[in-house]
Structure 1
């Protein structure tokens, strides 16, 4: 096979341009970030032409990435699996030796290692929402946390919502994939769906719209449901609300880490993620899914509502113990 010289930077640019229409924006950014480490390593190693890349060099990169990034086995696997996809694509354009992708090694991990168990449980969710309802009622932060908990939606879906997607009388939300106006959702068109709302959540949204929501549009003329005075609330801002309000000291609970709030670095809003008890939006999703399953909501209903397959629910989201599952099955038998 005759190879055509290609440098790492150009290879990454071509790869991303090729994949841009096939993958979500979030996946695009993830691949760009992960493979950016590989390009940086190539620069350090003075590798200017990927035609000369070898399996041994790929193993050196794996060890460098593991040690330099202090990666967990799960993160290392994700990094190397993305690199394998990249190398396989380079094979297709005669950029690297044939079958080099088979030499990209990644750790073998068990299903239990691959499933994260950090989640917001029902008791914590109730405490947070009760506090917000009392002291921050119908604020943007209150609405954000309430929507994530009650609908199980991903943070990207909440970010993508417009005022017109909310149907007060029929009590539901529409979720749409709109990449052309910078609000893609993870599963693209397959993630589009209608999400039913409870009367209490509708009352909260109505009060937000009638009393608190700024009358602004985004740069595309759309009216975001979750918005600040400056326009649509960014995903990072929505994520920061979750980090902030999941700190026990912020919703009236004693610090479980015996820290003095006056000396704790995590007490500042911009340092909220440093609190050991703070969680990400995905932990709310995981907790909400687990709680719904624990309340006997059928898996198919949870799967459709949360836009996630039942197999993925079993592996990544359902945190019920085997004993809890057995006792639920027993109720049906009786």
Structure 2
């Protein structure tokens, strides 16, 4: 150990150690995204000859930041990369790999409205309008169920996709298959009323926080009715390769369970105002690129699944739900649900 209390470690060793530490609490996909975001930093350290994080200074971080900006990256991309770098350096500080105080000197650029238009939370007013349109024009459809569950439960995309038929509980008789399972949180089960869905972590469809993300989430009777209608009328009966029966199935193709990319595209389409009426952006709907296949996200008003979640959480908080209740429902920390989502937005 050096006189300053730091213990030598290479950047790559530290990244591996950090990701190994997170393995028990983060989904594999999340860890892959962290590694991807840190890849430019590792390459930069190698180019600059920084093979010991003990020698990393705030000036080095500033030069890395400047180099990334010079590459013409979008502010949102910089926000993701430097935000992850800051978390990594905070870990390095805890293991005596970098000088104390270094994480505080990592400046994560804020993302203004122009750079995060598709990340703005969906407002309650827009959500109710879209729900009404789906109920009128696409009742009993897979799209309707996607939107209803995302908005009503505040779940993540991965949680929605992971649901099986056996995770939907509408009547008392459905509970029998849960009450005798040792790996079920029986206390949480007793606290929730029918109808509800149960988010489960399974290796083929992992939840972001793994077993800690497992929870039953109560549904309103109206939402439960929409889910049952879809199951009874329009769900295509298909079975996964692992003999599971997904709630959201595909009509054809190799995979029975709908993909994450398909869910994103469906949500982009549902949140385009011109699908239900006129365009608020004065675009010609006969030539608008956002109406082309795979380009739906280019509509300024379209939203991906995450803004549905953040909008749902915001709505719960604005309705007066306690932070700890919201946090348990959506699998977030009370601090996060209170700090991040308790602001009104009309996006």
Question: Could you tell me the TM-score, scaled by structure 1's length?
Answer: 0.78
Name 1:120's counterpart in structure 2.
122
Q: What are the superposed Cα offsets for residues 151-184 of structure 1, whole Å, 9 maximum, x if unpaired?
A: 2222221111111010121311111122xx2322
Residues 52 and 190 of structure 1, relative CA distance in 2, 3 Å threshold: closer
Indicate whether 1:201 and 2:223 are aligned: yes
Name 1:288's counterpart in structure 2.
312
Name 1:63's counterpart in structure 2.
66
Residues 309 and 46 of structure 1, relative CA distance in 2, 3 Å threshold: closer
**Deviation of residue 126 (structure 1)?**
1.9
Residues 18 and 317 of structure 1, relative CA distance in 2, 3 Å threshold: closer
Q: How does 1:9-20 map to 2 (within 5 A)?
A: 12=15, 16-17=19-20, 19-20=22-23
Distance in 2 (CA, whole Å) between partners of 1:288 and 1:52 is 43
Name 1:245's counterpart in structure 2.
270
Moved more, 274-283 or 75-84: 75-84
Name 2:157's counterpart in structure 1.
155
Q: 2:297 aligns with which of 244, 265, 273?
A: 273
RMSD of aligned alpha carbons: 3.4
Contact 2:131 2:148 in 1 (8 A): yes
Question: Could you tell me the TM-score, scaled by structure 2's length?
Answer: 0.75
Residues 21 and 305 of structure 1, relative CA distance in 2, 3 Å threshold: closer
Q: 1:219 aligns with which of 237, 241, 246?
A: 241
Q: What are the superposed Cα offsets for residues 100-152 of structure 1, whole Å, 9 maximum, x if unpaired?
A: 57545312789x99x99822222211221222222222222221011111222
SS in 1 for 2:139: coil
Name 1:326's counterpart in structure 2.
none
Contact 2:318 2:342 in 1 (8 A): no
Name 2:259's counterpart in structure 1.
234
The structure whose RCO (Cα within 8 Å, separation 6+) is larger is 2
Indicate whether 1:189 and 2:211 are aligned: yes
**Deviation of residue 254 (structure 1)?**
1.8
Contact 1:31 1:82 in 2 (8 A): no
Distance in 2 (CA, whole Å) between partners of 1:135 and 1:269 is 21
Moved more, 256-265 or 32-41: 32-41
Unaligned runs of 5+ in 1: 93-97, 322-334
SS in 1 for 2:147: helix
Name 1:304's counterpart in structure 2.
328
Unaligned runs of 5+ in 2: 172-193
Name 1:80's counterpart in structure 2.
85
